[in-house]
Amino acid sequence: MPTFAANWLLPRLVEGRARLGGIEIELETSGDLTDLQARPDLDCAIRLGRGPWPGLVSQHFLPVEAYPVASPDFLAGKRRLRGPQDLGRHTLIGSNHQPDFWPEWFRRTGVPFGDGPYKSFDNLQLVYEAAAARLGIAIGLDPLVRPYLASGRLVRVWPAEVTLSRSFHLVRRADRATDRSFGIFRDWLFGEAGSVAFS
C-alpha cells in the first residue's frame, strides 16, 4: 500500500539502514494486489488482509487498530460527539480499495452502520488529507495515521479503538527459497513492528 510505504515503512528504512547490513531495498507500491507468481523480480510483498493467500507463505507482523479521526477545527465547529451513534450526523470518509473498514468498526462497537453521507477515496493518504481539510470524519488505521496525529492535523475523536480482522503480513512465494538478504529484511521488519519472526 502506498500509504503504508510512505507513513510507516520508508521512515524506518531511512533510520534503520545500519541494521540492514548494507542490503539495498527497492520499493514498489500499488493499491492493487500484485500477483507474486507472475512477478519473479519481487522477493516479497507486504499485504493488508486476513490471509492466507494460495501459493504464498505469509507471516503476520503488524495488527491494525482503528478509530475515528478528524481535524481539530472540524470537531470544534460541531456539536459534541458522545459516541459512535453520533457519527450518523456527519460525513464519513473511507477507502474504496478497502470499503469494509468502517462497517467492521461499527460492527465491533455494536452500532449499526447507517446510510448517512459518505466520501470515498482510492488510497488512505487521500482519506486522511480529506479529513484534515475538514471534509468529514475518517477511519484512522493505526499505525498509518500516526504522522497526522503527531503533527496535530488530525485528532482522535474518542480514545477507544478496535482491532480489525485485517492485519499486515509479509508474504513470499512458497516455491522460492529465501536467502540471507531476505532474512535480514524480515528480521528487521518484525523488529520494527515489535513482533517475532519465524523461519
Confidence of residue 198 (pLDDT cuts 50, 70, 90): very low
When mean pLDDT is compared over 5-19, 26-40, 101-115, 129-143, the highest value belongs to 129-143
Return d(Cα 123, Cα 108) in angstroms, integer. 23
CATH 3.40.190.10 domain locations along the chain: 2-61+165-193, 64-164
- pLDDT tens digit string along 151-162? 999 999 988 889
173: which strand partners?
Answer: 56
**What pLDDT is attached to residue 84?**
85
93: which strand partners?
Answer: 119, 138
Residue in this structure with the C-alpha cell 486522511, named with its chain if needed: 128
Q: What is the mean pLDDT of residues 109-132?
A: 91
Confidence of residue 197 (pLDDT cuts 50, 70, 90): low
The yes-or-no verdict on residue 166 having pLDDT over 70 is yes
CATH label, 2-61+165-193, candidates 3.30.565.10, 3.40.50.300, 3.40.50.970, 3.40.190.10? 3.40.190.10
Q: What is the mean pLDDT of residues 179-189?
A: 91
Confidence of residue 199 (pLDDT cuts 50, 70, 90): very low
Q: Give me the architecture of the 64-164 domain, per CATH.
A: 3-Layer(aba) Sandwich (3.40)
Q: Cell digits for 90?
A: 456527519
- pLDDT tens digit string along 48-72? 999 899 989 999 999 999 999 999 9
Is residue 182 classed exposed, middle or buried when 0-12, 13-18 and 19+ CB atoms within 10 A define those classes?
middle
